[in-house]
Amino acid sequence: MKRPRRLSWLGAAAVVALGAVMALGLEPFGLWPLTLVALAGVIAIAVRVQAGWVGWLAGAGYFGLGLCWIVDPFLVDAAAYGWMAPFALVFMACGLALFWGLGFWLGAKLPNRAMGLVAGLSLAEFARGYVLTGFPWALVSHIWVETPLAQVDALVGPFGLALLTTLIAAMACRFKLRGLLGGAVLLGLGWAYGLYALSQPDPVAPAVTLRLVQPNAAQQAKWDPVQAQAIFDRLMAATSAPPGPLGAVDLVIWPETALPYLVEDQPDLPAQITAAAQGAAVAVGLQRIAPSAEGTRGWNSLKVYGPAGQELAAYDKHHLVPFGEYIPMGDLAYEWFGLRAFAAQTGAAYTAGPGARVLDLGAKLGKVLPLICYEAVFAQDLRVPERADWILQITNDAWFGTVSGPFQHAAQARLRAIEQGLPLVRVANTGLTEVIDARGRITARLPFGTSGFLDASLPGGLEAPPYAKWGEIPALVLLAGCFVLALRRPKFAKA
């Protein structure tokens, strides 16, 4: 095998540009053909030159554009933190690109270089979903959410679909007729399966009416004591509004950290809230605090209250956002060195809940799997022993801006519905509040960035699809197959 050529400065710029073009397949653009063409170009270049650098540069371009929303949290208080925004984007893009760089470097070591790159990039995307608590945002497979091909996610999961996406691009990367035809056939088979799945009869829906409340509170105002009453009044007005054409509401849902007060300080709040709901249960996103041996701790929580204000169920978010909701090693820094600034025990960060769990809300509302914000990014977090009847995500997407972040976040929630074969109800403080059926289709939605509420029927669930049963096993089998094929030198093309 010839030693790969060094990548020129012009070639490096072209690879970064191709990576950025790949990101145009993500929401809100959805230009998936550009992703396939650009990925094919990246693989074609990596076959000929130093693959590790190609992977890293392409990843930097892809994540640089795909995750540009990462600057928005720093602009909430721009005077104090705005200077950090460009550094956060550069470090995030270049850091995640290391996964691609290592994957391409590993794949290029195998005899069949093109197939090795497919295996290496797929392994990198898999690792990105798990290493250091994982960050599987902007997977290559997310480009399919608006297409029938998204239904393949129910078979092989997001990482398996990412592998198939990369394989389609790689088969055509040298633009030979056989490769183009093979990629087209694979794409067509996936598309045909998706059309078949979408043509099947809808499952029987339970007779449940939900009220989704979107207060649209600006992030700067959420914890302002002066504006707290106005936000609470907005929530209560939506909760107490008369029923619409669907009739009596069975469950009112408030978004993540919607309640601007601590229930511990005002224990009569649950009764006030449920009185406004006129007999319906209310699911409330809130912060809760409790004393512990190390000090007062706080949790990002969901609580469901019955008609008399009694607590029916509770869930504490367990997959926290690093550096946003907790500081890695912050508790140890407090225990070992007495540093209080980053410790959850001192109220400087949230404490993680015990893990994913299904809440039983009774015979009519059924069993629900709750997710709080960022947890909907992780397909593996939804695999719990007890099967739910539906999924509930409460979120505050005000952190993600208005350009791409909220739309990417909502798209990932739609994939979770497909993977589990369950309807998913998504309630946002601001962003995309919507009802998603078990095949990932949106059945009801509130306008983006508005204050109001939506009464909607809960769709029915399907039988557990393969991914819900077997998890990552199908994807790992496909990945192993790619590595085996990569060990054989191709006969029809020179590497």
Cβ burial 327-357 (10 Å sphere, 16+ → b, else e): beebbebbeeeeeeebbbbbebbbbbbeebb
| β-pair partners for 290 | 297
Do residues 433 and 454 touch, judged by C-beta distance below 8 A? yes
Does residue 28 have a cis bond before it (omega within 30 degrees)? Answer: yes
Q: What are phi and psi of 144, to 5 degrees?
A: -95, 5
Q: In 10 A of CB 76, how many CB atoms?
A: 16
From the centroid of its chain, how far is CA 429?
Answer: 17
Q: Are 418 and 154 in contact (CB under 8 A)?
A: yes
Between CA 265 and CA 422 the distance in angstroms is 37
- Residues 235/215, Cβ–Cβ less than 8 Å: yes
Distance CA 138, CA 489 (A): 32
DSSP codes of every residue in 108-169: TTSSSHHHHHHHHHHHHHHHHTTGGG---TT-GGGGGTTSGGGGGHHHHHHHHHHHHHHHHH
Report which of 442, 428, 409, 448 is spatially closest to residue 26, judged by C-alpha positions: 409
419 as an active site residue: the answer is no
Check if 146 is active-site.
Answer: no
Which residue among the candidates 222, 317, 325, 482 is catalytic per the annotation? 317
Active-site annotation holder among 125, 173, 222, 256:
256
Q: Which of 302, 290, 258, 314 is nearest to 393 (CA)?
A: 302
Q: How many CB atoms lie within 10 A of CB 8?
A: 10
Environment class of 201 (CB within 10 Å of its CB; exposed 0-12, middle 13-18, buried 19+): exposed
463 is catalytic: no
Q: What is the DSSP letter of 361?
A: -
- Of 125, 173, 373, 375, the active-site residue reads 373
> Rounded distance, CA 223 to CA 220, Å?
7
Residues annotated as catalytic (active site), given as ranges: 256, 317, 373
